[in-house]
Amino acid sequence: MSDTVKVALVTGGSSGIGAGVARRLAASGVKVVVADIAEPADVRCDVSVLDDNLRAVDYVMKEHGRLDLAFLNAGVASGCGVGEDFDVALYRRAMGVNLDGVVFGAHAAIPALKASGGGVIVATASMAGIVGIPLDPIYAANKHAVVGLIRSLGVALAPDGIRVQALCPSFADTAILGDARVLLEAEGFPIMEVDEVVDAFEKVVASEGTGECWFVVPGRPSEPFAFRRAPGPR
């Protein structure tokens, strides 16, 4: 892990990818604060609530006096589609956790990162932020939004010495897969171990870029996804 990271905040760190990252950070000597709605968490934080994010960062600053890395990782599957299976409460929840959670988390972390002389924000987007997902269009929509946010913030926060990166995993072996696991296994689609995503996270933190979206796909070394240049005016 990068030598410059002394204190980290991990949202959604009570299970899955967040827990794996929290363990790896702690093992390399980083002081880690886990913020989650589920146990075990150092601070209870519903990332879809702005005040909870502010409180989580306050807790980090009171406990450890600085913040070097904010891993904005909490996320949920949407649980509904846009047609007959639409459910406005599930839609709001998915957008609230997966998109608001990253916006609010970044908003809360930026002053603390600045006060610490700069740092890194890593958001867990998904490959669903890069390609369309017919099985869960709402999840794809909020993950695409996170990708757009990170690509934009990378440039916007460069003058403050804050790098902003997205981690875009394919399917990994965590609770979020739910019933989709059976479908994936039937299709023979490889499901990654959490550790493979954590390895990619380490590469992202050690990288020097900003505004990048690193894919994490079975059997391929992780690297920033190469977006095509958009056509400019002629």
Ligand X SMILES: NC(=O)c1ccc[n+]([C@@H]2O[C@H](COP(=O)([O-])OP(=O)(O)OC[C@H]3O[C@@H](n4cnc5c(N)ncnc54)[C@H](O)[C@@H]3O)[C@@H](O)[C@H]2O)c1
Catalytic amino acids?
Answer: 139
Q: Does 32 bind ligand X (CB under 6 A)?
A: no
Instruction: Report the relative pairing of strands 213-216 and 69-72 from DSSP bridges.
Output: unpaired
Residues 106-165 that bind ligand X (CB under 6 A): 124, 126
DSSP-H helix ranges across 75-177? 88-95, 101-115, 137-156
- Which among 105-113, 168-176, 199-207, 221-229 is the span making contact with ligand X, rule CB under 6 A? 168-176
User: 149 phi and psi, to 5 degrees?
Assistant: -65, -45
Q: Does 22 bind ligand X (CB under 6 A)?
A: no
Three-state secondary structure string covering 193-221: CHHHHHHHHHHHHHCCCCCCEEEECCCCC
CB of 146 closer than 8 Å to CB of 166: yes
Q: Does 169 bind ligand X (CB under 6 A)?
A: yes
Q: Does 196 bind ligand X (CB under 6 A)?
A: no
Residue from 1, 7, 8, 17 touching ligand X (CB under 6 A): that is: 17
Total residues in contact with ligand X, by rule CB under 6 A: 28
Q: Does 36 bind ligand X (CB under 6 A)?
A: yes
Least Å from the CB of residue 233 to ligand X: 35
Q: How far apart are the first and last CA of the chain?
A: 45
Q: Does 175 bind ligand X (CB under 6 A)?
A: yes
Least Å from the CB of residue 193 to ligand X: 11
Q: Which of 25, 11, 22, 99 is nearest to 53 (CA)?
A: 11
How far, in Å, CA of 163 to CA of 160, rounded?
Answer: 9
How far, in Å, CA of 183 to CA of 30, rounded?
Answer: 38
Residue from 9, 32, 45, 153 touching ligand X (CB under 6 A): that is: 45
Judged by beta carbon, residue 134 or residue 233, the one nearer ligand X is: 134
Residues 48-77 that bind ligand X (CB under 6 A): 48, 73-76
| Single-letter amino acid, residue 17 | I
Residue from 60, 120, 172, 205 touching ligand X (CB under 6 A): that is: 172
Residue from 9, 14, 53, 205 touching ligand X (CB under 6 A): that is: 14
Residue 188's region, left for phi above 0, alpha for psi from -120 to 50, else beta, is: left
Contact residues: ligand X, CB under 6 A: 11-12, 14-18, 36-38, 45-48, 73-76, 97, 124, 126, 169, 171-172, 174-177
